[in-house]
Amino acid sequence: MKLTIFGSGYVGLVTGACLADIGHNVMCVDRDEGKIAALKRGEVPIYEPGLDEKIESNAKAGRLHFTTDAKQGVEHGKVIFIAVGTPPDEDGSADISAVLAVAKTIATHMTDHKTIVTKSTVPVGSADQVRDVAAATLRAANKALTFDVASNPEFLKEGNAIEDFEKPDRIVVGVSNHETAEVLREIYAPFNRRSNRMVEMDVRSAELTKYAANAMLATKISFMNELSNLADALGADIEQVRMGIGSDARIGYHFIYPGAGYGGSCFPKDVKALAAMGRKNGVPAKLVEAVEDVNERQKRVLVQKIEKHFGANNIKGKTFALWGLAFKPSTDDMREAPSRAIMENLWEKGAKVKAYDPKAMEECHRIYGTRSDLTLCDKATDCLDGADALIVVTEWKEFQAIDADELKARMKTPVIFDGRNIYDPKRKKAQGIAYYGIGRNG
């Protein structure tokens, strides 16, 4: 099937590469000329394991194309996916202006029936707006053409997106007629063979499902983070508590790891947008709002521990080694990353940071540029030289086994602030290292 995807960001590229990989003829459209030129040269603008190879192989096979020509994109696809960004507005609601602009573009250039599928994360009711914009554009041009609008939200985890797409837990499709559902079923058939993963529902329910899923996961994280702070105050160990509650099948172990807060392109944005939807519709989402509040507070917890250890007035002039810039392992994404809040807070207090991340160094330099209070090191251990403390923010595997003797030899003072609880407090203290975890200091 000939498919077009508007938007060549994270979702658009993963979707395009994976659909091309199963034999569809896919054209990715983006207005960013530099990005499209780079993609044509085989340069992928984001880091996602396996994505480079998948894009390269399918482009060479002639199944994956890139263009800035919207007309060409509309003419190419029988089904057109909208996967452009929906950034948060000032009130936290999702800005869907780019989605509606694509809807207008599709209607402007279409000459036959099209199925328009919103893959961007959009507020409930957005598909209706897409339909209205497309219909109005067609009327203004005196075109008597038909089209369908569906919702097909993505559930991709950064760092594991290829496997999530190819081995999905579910394929949610929101449709208003059976014919559209069958078109989407045909597209996803190779991923749906062993068992029926497709969950068919109405369009508005599909739109809400995406927000509900991310808000639920974010809630689990914030709940555990709030419990971890209580564990510190009560003298309990949150890791033991986690094992105790995770063994209950009704709760499970997924997403109950306390830490320095969640980040990325999805959870922060979607939680805020869901809260905004509640306010707009007269149904305040108090729990959802609390999830975001707890997360913002959690990003400050490590700095509070640092202040308690050194003294609030003694941070100025100190140097901190920081391991992990990306909001999670296996990505270079620093959007809403806890590392940013921590570094910016330390800089405000007059401290310096020596940072390392296996994948996010270029992204960090893009965000902050060159500054005297930030040194980006080539190796994790290089950050330790002359550091007053080590802050672990992202649980990359290479950080999980460290040489205690080397750490003590290279640092001014052997202190670890572990934002992901990857080390054993008793073992670190036995090695002569002062240790502060999340909810582990009872």
Residues catalogued as catalytic: 266
Query: How far apart are the C-alpha atoms of 145 and 114, rounded to whole Å?
Result: 9
Report the DSSP beta bridge partners of residue 416: 390, 435
Residue from 246, 228, 244, 245 nearest 236 by CA: 228
The three-class DSSP label of residue 262 is: coil
User: 126: part of which helix (H) or strand (E)?
Assistant: helix 126-140
Tokens in use for 32?
A: 């960013």
Query: How far apart are the C-alpha atoms of 223 and 215, rounded to whole Å?
Result: 12
Tokens in use for 258?
A: 């306390």
Query: How far apart are the C-alpha atoms of 169 and 165, rounded to whole Å?
Result: 9
Backbone φ and ψ of 150, nearest 5°: -135, 165
Query: How far apart are the C-alpha atoms of 383 and 371, rounded to whole Å?
Result: 16
Report the DSSP beta bridge partners of residue 115: 79, 148
Q: Which amino acid is at 119?
A: K
Residue 88: DSSP 8-state: B
